[in-house]
Structure formats: structure tokens, C-alpha cells
Structure 1
Amino acid sequence: MTAQPACSVDDLGPEEAMLVELADADGTTVPVAIARDVDGGWHAISDICSHGQVSLSDGEVEGCLVECWLHGSQFDLRSGKPLQLPATQPVPVYPVTVDGDRILVDVDEPLAIAS
């Protein structure tokens, strides 16, 4: 599968996030948090916190971080790495393409997490 429409550029302002559900190549629903950073850059990460089954799109976006609303774990939107306990495992990050006014996400090809 290739990148698929996730939302419109008008759906989010800087430091906002929303949940979208996309289908992977097997037809499985993948919950994705679409977020805009402080500079207006677009990011797509797993919507599920690696510490608990909590929606990251319900958390606060600050700069290039999203904070889990339940326990305060913070994740880098660019890499998926946890930057604040209690989370210790990264979340998947997906490639984002801006095509005109559409935001496209490819859930079949998560980006590699740099060490």
C-alpha cells in the first residue's frame, strides 16, 4: 500500500493533534495521531502510548513533543522516542507527505528509529 489521505491541512493548527484510523496493507485498522509541531510541520505517530493503551492524540503537543495525558510520558514527534518516563519504549512513526491541501500517511512503512 502507499500513502493514503489522513486529513486536510486546515484540520489542525500548530501544536494540535487528532486521531485518524487508516488501513494497512492487510486491511487492519491502524490508529494514528496526526500532529503539527510548533513550526507547523506535520507528523504521524502511533496513537497508542507505549506505556499504556492511551490515545496520544488526546494529549498536549508542545514544540515537537506530544505528552500522554494519563501518565505524562512525552514522545518526540520526529522519532517516536520516549523522552519522559514512565514510557521506555518508542512508538512507530509514519512517513507524511503534504500533497496540496491533503496530508498523506503511509502506515505500511514506519520510519526507522535512530539509536
Structure 2
Amino acid sequence: MPDFEEIASLDDFGSADRLEVFVEDTPVLLIRVQDQILAIEDVCTHDGQPLTNGCIEEGAIVCPRHGARFDLVTGKALCMPATKSIRTFEVEVRGQKIYVGH
């Protein structure tokens, strides 16, 4: 069972759909999709670039550099040039606070 760490508040999003945070020393991207908060490692497995500014389309994030796509829930690489999944994190929202498991 993962340990959960308070990492942010829903208010931190403002009008944005994503928020950059760190879980321990790992860059993590919190993404708000409708009423759900998802958390993925903010690094493309193809070339190590941040996914921060990638477009979100049909439940996936697109790497802004080379177009690799990753499923936001499972982290699975959906197309080339990426072949390896990204890490995802379990998220719990308690009131206004966001907790991420690690």
C-alpha cells in the first residue's frame, strides 16, 4: 500500500487544467480531467523531455517535442517514438487537498 503525501490543493489549479509538482525528487504533472485528478511522471520516456505543455486529447497526453502519446490513466505509450510507459501515481482528493501515493 502506498504512502500518501499532501502535494497540492484544488485551489492551486485556478483556471488551469494542470499543475507541476514534485513527489520526493520526481517531477509530476497533476492533470484535471472533468472531476478527476490524475498524476503522471512529467518526463517523456522517449527522450526525457517534460510533458508539461503537451496537448491532452482523448484521455492521452501528447509529448510536445516528438508527438509520443501516453494514456493518462495507465501511463501506457500509445504510439512511436515512445515504447515505454510513463509512471502514474495514485491520487486521493480529501476535501480541497490532493494527496499522491508513492
Q: Indicate whether the TM-score tops 0.5.
A: yes
1:34 to 30, 34, 37: 30
Check if 1:54 corresponds to 2:55. Answer: no
1:103 to 87, 94, 98: 98
Q: What's the TM-score once normalised by structure 1's chain length?
A: 0.77
Map of 2:63 onto structure 1? 68
Write the deviation string for residues 21-59 of structure 1: whole angstroms up to 9, x where unpaired. 121xxxxx111111112x331111111110011111221
Write the deviation string for residues 54-73 of structure 1: whole angstroms up to 9, x where unpaired. 11122122342111111111
Map of 2:7 onto structure 1? 6
Q: What's the TM-score once normalised by structure 2's chain length?
A: 0.86
Identify unmatched segments of 5+ residues in structure 2: none
Map of 2:38 onto structure 1? 43
Map of 1:113 onto structure 2? none
* Matched AA of 1:31: P
Could you tell which deviates more after superposition, 8-17 or 40-49?
8-17
Measured at CA, do residues 64 and 40 of structure 1 come closer, stay the same or move farther in structure 2, by a change above 3 Å? farther
Q: What's the % identity of the aligned pairs?
A: 33
Measured in 2, the distance between the counterparts of 1:68 and 1:91 equals: 11
* Matched AA of 2:39: A
Map of 1:18 onto structure 2? 19
- The alignment yields a C-alpha RMSD, in angstroms, of 1.9
Confirm or deny: 8 A CA contact 1:34 1:57 kept in the other structure.
no
